[in-house]
Amino acid sequence: MKTYLLLFAVLLLSAYSFAQQIPARWDELVASDFPAALEKSSKTCILPIGILEKHGPHSPIGTDLIHVREWAAHAVKSEYAVVFPDYFYGQINEARHQPGTFALPSKVIWDLLEATCDEIARNGFDKIVILNGHGGNPEFIQFFMQSLLNKRHNYAVYFYNPHGADKEYTDQYRKMHKSAIEGDQHAGESETASMLYYRPDLMKMDRAASQSGENQHRLNLTNIYTPIWWYAAYPNHYAGEGAKATPEFGKFIAEHEIASFIQALKAIKADTSTIKLQNEFFDKVDALNK
């Protein structure tokens, strides 16, 4: 009996050790490990969405994609979820004048995102977490998600879209920040610093000051939106001063964003209400059509 119990304990320990070792990236899993990945992740899949566009004269075209890929990879070391492979099909029409931009038609990116979510769910996941790295995507993602209420789905989509931060982090952020905070946007100090932490080998910091990232103020329209606003302000597709970024600042930003996402991921994995409420909603929709 003791031998049996000892063997059982060894098997349990081995199974636990195996579960700890299975890859988080979907494309690195072998098919026979997929059931274990589903169980360990609580059927949760992260969909990191980036973009391919110019990031100043110094940061790689895939900065947004690399950022969310590394962000997710760091987070799942502490809170396991399966991470979908590189996805760079978002809204980036405003950068079509710059080399390296990959901008697909609106209908294509919409249909592709819906088909991707459907296919992720077909493989057993009922929670899909969108982790976005591109500033031009949130409006598209939010409208896409609201449109999911147009028909019943057997999965829930969550958009991690953090706003604000705790006072301690904000105060330290302001102390470490060297450029004008209000102008620090695309490929500016903060984004450059993050890349100096995640992938310093890809950065060309000697070129960071070779182009202007200042707002050119070429439109003066109050309370009026026009899609050319970004180009009017930043024709170089660069907003900020990337040259002032430091790896230390990047480490500070990255550690905070990773920790914050881990907390959100834990909450999503534990969530039992969203899908239940979705089903209740669609039951009422269906009742109206009877």
pTM reported for the whole predicted model:
0.91
**pLDDT at residue 10, as a whole number:** 37
Domain ranges of the chain: 24-269
**Do residues 208 and 273 touch, judged by C-beta distance below 8 A?**
no
Q: How far, in whole angstroms, is CA 162 from its chain's centroid?
A: 11
3-class secondary structure, 142: helix
Looking up tokens 């909603």 gives 281
Please name every residue paired with 179 in a beta bridge, in sequence order, or none if there are none: none
Distance CA 186, CA 137 (A): 13
Cα separation, 59 vs 193, in Å, equals 10
Architecture of domain 24-269: 3-Layer(aba) Sandwich (3.40)
pLDDT in tens, the chain (290 residues): 444 334 334 333 443 444 458 999 999 999 999 999 999 999 999 999 999 999 999 999 999 999 999 999 999 999 999 999 999 999 999 999 999 999 999 999 999 999 999 999 999 999 999 999 999 999 999 999 999 999 999 999 999 998 877 899 999 999 999 999 999 999 999 999 999 999 999 999 999 999 999 999 999 999 999 999 999 999 999 999 999 999 999 999 999 999 999 999 999 999 999 999 999 999 999 999 77
Q: Which helix (H) or strand (E) holds 129?
A: strand 127-132
